[in-house]
Amino acid sequence: MKGITRHSGKAVLMLTDNINTDQIIPSREMKSVSKVGLADGLFANLRYLDASTGGRTPDPQFVLNKPTAKGASILIAKSNFGCGSSREHAVWALHEYGFRIIIATSYGSIFFDNCINNGILPIVLDQGTIARLTDAVNADTELVVDLQHCHLSAEHLKIKFNLNEDKRQMLLEGSNAIDLTLKHKQAIDQFLVHDKTARPWVYDLSAANSNNPTTKLHHPTCQESQS
Amino acid sequence: MTATTLFDKLLQSHQIKQFDDGSSLVLIDRVMLHERTGALALANLVADKRSIVEPAAVFCTIDHIADTSPGRPMQTRMPGGEVFIEAMRKQTTDLGLTLFDIDDPRQGIVHVIAPELGIAQPGITLVCPDSHTCTLGGLGALAWGIGSTDCEHALATKTLRVKALKQLRINLSGTQPPWLTAKDIILHLIATHSASRAVGHVIEFCGPVIESMEIEQRLTLCNMGVEMGAFTALIAPDQKTVDYVLGRPYAPANNTNEATQHWLGLATDDGAKFDSEIDMDVSALAPAVTWGTSPEHAVGIDEAIPAPIKANGDSDPTRLAALAYMDVAAGQKLTDLAIDTAYIGSCTNARLSDLRRAALILKNNKVASGVKAICVPGSTQVKTQAEAEGLDQVFMEAGFEWNESGCAMCFYAGGDSFGDQERVISSTNRNFEGRQGPGSKTHLASPETVALSAINGTISDLRLHFSNVG
Ligand code: SF4
């Protein structure tokens, strides 16, 4: 994964609350067991007039279809962006389309982590700051995001933002979270040794696996809980 | 010793390391996968040449796009969906993972079978690349939804990084009227406090209403924690939980006394501090139904649809769009709306107790003419048990389709959908635009409200039914 240190680009505005991952990429657009080939389905139901029948006729009203949105790499939204389904396809589709930075007042929690894992920087700003930003940007404004110093600038505006230090490092270096965690392998193994004596029942999976599943399926409390 | 919360105890018992920023590296006890996102996590893992630390602790099912028509084949009706199912079959075989395939008696919606099979247990950590994994908090498990990359991380390291979270306690008091279900309660909570109220939080539900609530209702309540924005939701395990869990196929068979002791010790200590609290008295709540396109667009069934105005008096474009999409008007009553379809299914409300309660309403009644009504049991086991009790007959005699288990029409991907722009009353958890098909207008409600609305052909007030039958 490529790191992000400094990014400049044009922004598009999608100023509604609760834009969910079903909207970012409809389930129907996730057609293969793959992270790629998703950009075409990004915001499909909003972007295409005939998406429901698999069509690709652009809806001229939709922000990404406006000529001025061409090449935009920054998306500005409002609260709870990326809520809903855990589908990482939402982030893959945004990334493949070209988005590198998202700005919102809050995010769906799974979506936020998915962004960090895939080299998209999710910036949190308060409502007032977003309003100032959206007032300042127009179709041609270049926004400059500096992750080294955690600020973004547009025209005469300069805005600070905060990001957890580890997440910032991950994005800066484009590092892989699994490799980072495996540096703690020794601590994990030690914990496991201890835990197996502390909670032995959690590790006792052999019994159930070897039994005939069908005989043990019905459970007495199912009958009792009739209300 | 300082008083600690249920969440603190769950976290501490799994915490391998804490980092300077307050995040923790936590041990993951169980991973569940379904074909729609799990197949991809496994494919990425294999492509990255990583291996699974504890394959026996990984459980897979085919639920999301499985065909749910009666006597179904081993495939999907979703165009192009076969690749997900085939990939799941191949990878689970190659990697030696437990798979509950379409024809397995243990098959079902991932969050329905996890408790049913005893895979979800109090005191464990469990993750699944699916946002409604929070359901399992109803048993006192720390369970949350993740993306595919984090899933690969959990498989390859048996750990995940969990950021520092805030804690929100929701205390439910009062007397729960017989028509009031966990679904109504959570819809009221989300409508009152918004779909983003719990972002960055773990919710703990507690109070007298929780203590007397059946386990399956607790699962329904926690299922929709994510619709309030929460990282996950929790309910402290009690004796009811212990009785529910023990004896199930993957529940502990040895050391059960120790396990029970551990589970019952997880409850929040008196005096433990939360970042914020919500108190709700449920005594006077009406059955809840959504009118719009977010779970926060819910009202009591006798209330009018609110005006699309923000607290500060400005017009609210999101709500305006929702009104237009749903073809409803502010001031209108939901009970005036005719429905095209009624759907009982999903990980929210398709467990055996849900079907039993809906059947009580359907018994000796008929679905209104012109209304299509569908029941999709939450798991194959739920279906089998319901049939053993004759519930299938009640549903079918009333005019419901009685289908095989799966996610099916909860979301538009199983190859089925409701007709274009149909109005659906649904026991599911999401009423997003197009969630149940192109233009689908979904009204979320309890399975009882769905059943009664199917009979009347209009969205109906369950209280009238209860007063009629006495
Ligand atoms: S039933 Fe619906 S909400 Fe639940 S896991 Fe399946 S698709 Fe998701």
Q: Do B318 and A118 touch (CB under 8 A)?
A: no
- Among A88, A211, A217, beta carbon nearest to B381: A217
Q: Do A150 and A191 fall into the same domain?
A: no
Angle between helices A109-117 and B148-157 (to 10 degrees): 70
Separation of CA B428 and ligand 1 centre (Å): 8
Same domain, A95 and A193: no
Full-model pTM:
0.93
Q: Does B94 touch chain A (CB under 8 A)?
A: no
Q: Which residues of A touch B244 (CB under 8 A)?
A: 221, 225
Note the pLDDT of residue A226: 36
Report the half-sphere exposure of B49 (CA within 13 A, side-chain side). Answer: 0
Report pLDDT for A208: 56
Q: Which residues contact B253 (CB under 8 A, 6 or more apart)?
A: A204, A207, A208
pLDDT in tens, B150-182: 999 999 999 999 999 999 999 999 999 999 999
Q: How far is A168 from chain B (nearest CA, A)?
A: 12
pLDDT at A223: 41
CB contact under 8 A, B255 and A204: yes
Instruction: Note whether A79 contacts B: Cβ–Cβ < 8 A.
Output: yes
pLDDT at A33: 87
Residue bearing tokens 């085919």 = B62
Mean local confidence (pLDDT), A126-130 = 95
Top pLDDT among A214 and B426 is at B426
Fold of B288-469: Aconitase; domain 3 (3.30.499)
Residue A58 domain-assigned? yes
- Whether residue A1 is contained in a domain is answered as no
- Region of B117 on the Ramachandran plot (φ > 0 left; ψ -120 to 50 alpha; else beta): alpha
- Average pLDDT along chain A: 88
Q: What is the least distance, in Å, from the CA of B31 to any CA of chain A?
A: 13
CA A140 to chain centre: 26
Helix (H, G, I), strand (E, B) or coil at B167: strand
pLDDT value of position A225: 38
- Asked if residue A220 and residue A110 are part of one domain, the reply reads no
pLDDT digit string (tens) for B387-421? 999 999 999 999 999 999 999 889 887 666 777 78
Domain count, chain A: 2
pLDDT at B419: 76
CA distance B377 to B353: 11
Vertex B260, ends B259 and B266: CA angle to 5°?
95
Per residue in B297-354, pLDDT tens? Answer: 999 999 999 999 988 888 998 899 999 999 999 999 999 999 999 999 999 999 999 9
C-alpha dihedral (B407, B411, B415, B418), degrees to nearest 10: 120
In tens, the pLDDT along B199-257 reads 999 999 999 999 999 999 999 999 999 999 999 999 999 999 999 999 999 999 999 99
Q: Clarify whether residues A80 and A116 are in a common domain.
A: yes
Overall fold of domain B6-277? Aconitase; domain 3 (3.30.499)
Q: What is the domain-level CATH number for residue A74?
A: 3.20.19.10
Q: Give A-chain residues touching B44 at CB under 8 angstroms.
A: 35
Q: CB burial class (10 A; 0-12, 13-18, 19+) of residue B427?
A: buried
* Residue A188 contacts B, CB cutoff 8 Å: yes
Structure confidence by residue, pLDDT tens digits, B274-295: 999 999 999 999 999 999 999 9
Q: Are residues A142 and A210 in the same domain?
A: no
Shared domain check, A99 and A34: yes
Q: What is the pLDDT of residues A35-78, one digit of tens each?
A: 999 999 999 999 999 988 889 999 999 999 999 999 999 999 99
Nearest 10 degrees: CA dihedral of B146, A124, B12, B242? Answer: -50
Distances (CA, A) of B467 to A67, B179, B180, B461, B470: 60, 10, 14, 11, 5
Pocket probe mutation, ligand 1, options B64, B219, B351, B436, max atoms within 8 Å of Cβ: B64
Interchain pair B412, A26: CB under 8 A = yes
Q: Are residues A154 and A207 in the same domain?
A: no
Residue bearing the CA closest to ligand 1, atom 4: B347
Identify the three-state secondary structure at position B128. strand
pLDDT (0 to 100) of residue B434: 86
Res B136 pLDDT > 80: yes
Q: Would you say residue A94 lies in a domain?
A: yes
pLDDT digit string (tens) for A72-123?
999 999 999 999 998 999 999 999 999 999 999 999 989 999 999 999 999 9
pLDDT over 90 at B466, yes or no? no
- From A106, A205, A121, A23, select the one nearest B230 (Cα to Cα): A106
Our separate counts of H helices and E strands in chain B read 16, 19
Residue from B14, B16, B61, B444 whose CB has the most chain A CBs within 10 Å, to mutate:
B16
**Cβ of A61 under 8 Å from any chain B Cβ?**
no
CA distance B171 to chain A (A): 23
- Asked if residue B268 has pLDDT above 90, the reply is yes
Could you give the C-alpha distances from A15 to A75, B66, B296, B422, in angstroms and in order? 10, 36, 18, 28
Contact A200 B255 (CB under 8 A): yes
- Residue A150 corresponds to which amino acid? C
What's the confidence (pLDDT) of residue A3?
87
pLDDT (0 to 100) of residue A156: 85
Token pair, residue A169, equals 């490092």
Query: What is the extent of the structural domain holding A100?
Result: 6-176
CA dihedral sign of residues A50, A52, A55, A60: positive
Question: From the alpha carbon of B378, which atom of ligand 1 is closest?
Answer: 1
Contact indicator for B335, B120 with CB cutoff of 8 Å: no
Kindly determine whether residue B318 and residue A17, on different chains, have CB atoms separated by under 8 Å: yes
pLDDT in the model for residue B408:
83
Sequence-ordered list of residues with C-beta below 8 angstroms from that of B9, at least 6 positions apart, any chain: B265, B266
Q: What is the pLDDT of residue A215?
A: 38
What's B408's DSSP letter?
A: G
Q: What is the pLDDT of chain B when averaged over all its residues?
A: 95
B407 lines ligand 1 (CB under 6 A): yes
Assess A194–B contact: CB distance below 8 Å, yes or no: no
Residue nearest to atom 2 of ligand 1 (CA): B410
Chain B contact for A104, CB < 8 A? no
Alpha helix (H) residue ranges in B79-224: 82-95, 110-116, 148-157, 182-193, 208-211, 215-223
Give residue B347 CA to ligand 1 midpoint distance, Å: 6
pLDDT at B438 over 90: no
Residue B249: which region, alpha, beta or left (left: phi > 0; alpha: psi -120 to 50)? alpha
Question: Are A182 and B157 in contact (CB < 8 Å)?
Answer: yes
Ligand 1 binding pocket includes B440 (Cβ within 6 Å): no
Contact A202 B29 (CB under 8 A): yes
Q: How is residue B310 written in tokens?
A: 């923000």
Q: Do residue A41 and residue A121 come from a single domain?
A: yes
CB contact under 8 A, B27 and A191: yes
| Nearest Cα residue to atom 1 of ligand 1 | B346
Regarding the beta carbon of B410 and ligand 1, being less than 6 Å apart is answered yes
Q: What confidence score (pLDDT) does residue B77 get?
A: 87
Q: What Å distances lie between residue B75 and A206, B101, B228, B409, CA to CA?
A: 30, 10, 34, 16
Residues contacting B156, CB < 8 A, separation 6+:
A178, B45, B48, B50, B51, B52, B53
Other Cβ atoms within 10 Å of B14 Cβ, number: 23
Q: Coil, helix or strand for B164?
A: coil
B227 Cβ below 6 A of ligand 1 = no
Regarding whether A148 and A44 lie in a shared domain, the answer is yes
Residues A159 and A51 both lie in one domain: yes
Task: Give the ipTM of the model, two decimals please.
Answer: 0.93
pLDDT reported for residue B437: 85
Please say whether the beta carbons of B291 and B326 come within 8 A: yes
Q: What pLDDT was estimated at residue A211? A: 46
Cα dihedral: A23, A24, A27, A30 (round 10):
160
Mutation site, A205, A212, A214, A215, interface B, largest B CB count within 10 A: A205
Q: Domain extents for chain B? A: 6-277, 288-469
CB neighbour burial string for B148-173, b if at least 16 within 10 angstroms, e if fewer? bbbbbbbbbbbbbbbbebebbbbbbe
Residue A65 placed within a domain: yes
Helices A89-97 and A109-117 sit at what angle, rounded to 10 degrees?
A: 50
